[in-house]
Amino acid sequence: MWTYYRDVTLYALTICLLFGIASAPVRESVAGGIITTLVVFAVFGTGLGVLGFHYFQKQQYYMYYNLGYTKRYLISRVWFINFTLGCFFALLLSPFI
């Protein structure tokens, strides 16, 4: 389960980081840009990470299936953790906008 979380989240972080860097010129403040990136990560990051995992490591799902984890279970857990973390850090940074 942890390896799935790590792999999906690495894809998610990479994509969201690239999004954050690409959108930096149109942001009014650094903190605002980071918060937007964190919100994108919290809401869409897991979905993007799952797409990355599906594209590069799809076959590994069979390892998790054999261990009793369905795709829905894996994705929902990762989404819940990343949503919570993304929102937490976004709220933490919100006073600096």
Partner 1 sequence: MKHMLQLYSAQKSFGSKKVLLDVSLGLSKGEILGLFGPNGSGKSTLLKILFGTLKADAIDLRINEQPISPESVIPEQYIGYLPQDSFLPKRLKVRDIIPLFFEHGDDQDAIFRAPFVEKITAQVAGTLSMGELRYLELLLIANLDHPFLLLDEPFSMIEPLYKEKIKEFLFVLKEKKGILLTDHYYQDVLEVSDRNMVLKDGVSYPAAKEQDLINLGYLR
Residues 73-92 that bind partner 1 (CB under 8 A): 73
Distances (CA, A) of 77 to 10, 22, 48, 81: 15, 29, 15, 6
Q: Is residue 5 a contact residue for partner 1 (CB under 8 A)? A: no
Does the footprint of partner 1 cover residue 62 (CB under 8 A)? Answer: yes
Nearer to partner 1, 44 or 64 (CB): 64
- The set of residues, in sequence order, having a beta carbon less than 8 Å from that of 90 and lying 6+ positions away, is 35, 38, 39, 42
Q: Residues interacting with partner 1, by CB under 8 A? A: 3, 57, 59-63, 65-70, 73
